[in-house]
Amino acid sequence: MPRRPPRKPDATLDLSSHLLLLESLPDPFDPTGVFPRPGPVELEVGSGKGLFLSSASAAGSERNFLGVEIAVGYARLCAGKLAAGGRDNARIIQGDAGFLVRSLLPDACLAGMHVYFPDPWWKARHRKRRVLSEPFLVHAGRVLKPGAVLHVWTDVEEYFTEAMAAARATGLFAAARGEEAGEPAHDLDYRTHFERRTRLAGLPVWRAALERTAEPSAVRRVMS
């Protein structure tokens, strides 16, 4: 589905606390260090318009939420929403999630990961750009704490099947559990904007929760 350019955030908003640039992050990057309050950190990959980050960080959540979004306009839009909502437990990084997860995040630093409606990259020559590749999933297993859950939702069955097989091949996750979405109570009561769009169009969504089971030694074995 074609995407319209994102709205610009209100020019009077100060985005400096909520918008981080990947290129300015230290290596390694401790994600707990960017939040004023200590607490488990969950990462959302490809935050788009930021509905998940806004709703997950609302309602007095004691968890901290970090998004990573490659498109500058969407990252700024998310940061604007978080700043306007006064969310001190949510931040967005503008940059490539693959680089962040593979190269900057230390072992076992995350309490959860969310990948909702990742770009399917339909053309065969573009497939290597898919975020949910086996090397990415090995690093997802590395950065998640044992017991933490990786949530994968998509409207592309073939991508879902391929991602589940890649996750199984890492040996780092328990068998996928299905996830259910309830009936929305209001117009924005969806996990993300793409989930809203897909369900309103009457199309199916594939959802899974993958629990990270292996100990760090198993991660090292997979990566060696």
Ligand X SMILES: C[S@@+](CC[C@H](N)C(=O)[O-])C[C@H]1O[C@@H](n2cnc3c(N)ncnc32)[C@H](O)[C@@H]1O
Terminal-to-terminal C-alpha distance of the chain: 39
Q: Does residue 102 interact with ligand X by CB under 6 A?
A: no
Among 9, 31, 80, 98, binds ligand X (CB under 6 A): 98
Q: Which of residues 40-59 bind ligand X (CB under 6 A)?
A: 45-48
Among 88, 96, 107, 211, binds ligand X (CB under 6 A): 96
Residue 155 — φ and ψ, nearest 5°?
Answer: -100, 10
Pick 31 or 118: Cβ nearer ligand X: 118
Marked catalytic residue, from 119, 155, 187, 189:
119
Strands 144-154 and 206-211, bridge-based pairing: antiparallel
CB of 143 to ligand X, least distance (A): 15
Whether 119 is catalytic: yes
Pick 153 or 173: Cβ nearer ligand X: 153
Q: Does residue 119 interact with ligand X by CB under 6 A?
A: yes
Part of the chain binding ligand X (CB under 6 A), chosen from 14-22, 33-41, 186-194, 213-221: 186-194
CB of 169 to ligand X, least distance (A): 21
Q: Does residue 94 interact with ligand X by CB under 6 A?
A: no
**Nearest by Cα to 187 from 199, 204, 205:** 199
CB of 215 to ligand X, least distance (A): 28
Query: Residues 6 or more apart from 93 whose CB is under 8 A from it?
Result: 20, 21, 22, 25, 66, 67, 68, 69, 75, 100
Token pair of 175, please? 């068998």
Part of the chain binding ligand X (CB under 6 A), chosen from 16-24, 77-85, 173-181, 192-200: 192-200
Q: Does residue 131 interact with ligand X by CB under 6 A?
A: yes
Distance separating alpha carbons of residues 43 and 65, to the nearest angstrom: 6
Determine contact, residues 113/45, Cβ cutoff 8 Å.
Answer: yes
Query: Residues 6 or more apart from 213 whose CB is under 8 A from it?
Result: 146, 147, 172, 173, 174
Q: Does residue 68 interact with ligand X by CB under 6 A?
A: yes
Q: Strand, coil or helix: what is 210?
A: strand
Kindly determine how many residues on this chain lie close enough to bind ligand X according to the rule CB under 6 A: 21
Distance separating alpha carbons of residues 40 and 148, to the nearest angstrom: 10
Residues forming the active site:
119
Q: What does the binding site for ligand X look like in residue numbers (CB under 6 A)?
A: 45-48, 68-71, 74, 96-98, 116-119, 131, 192-195
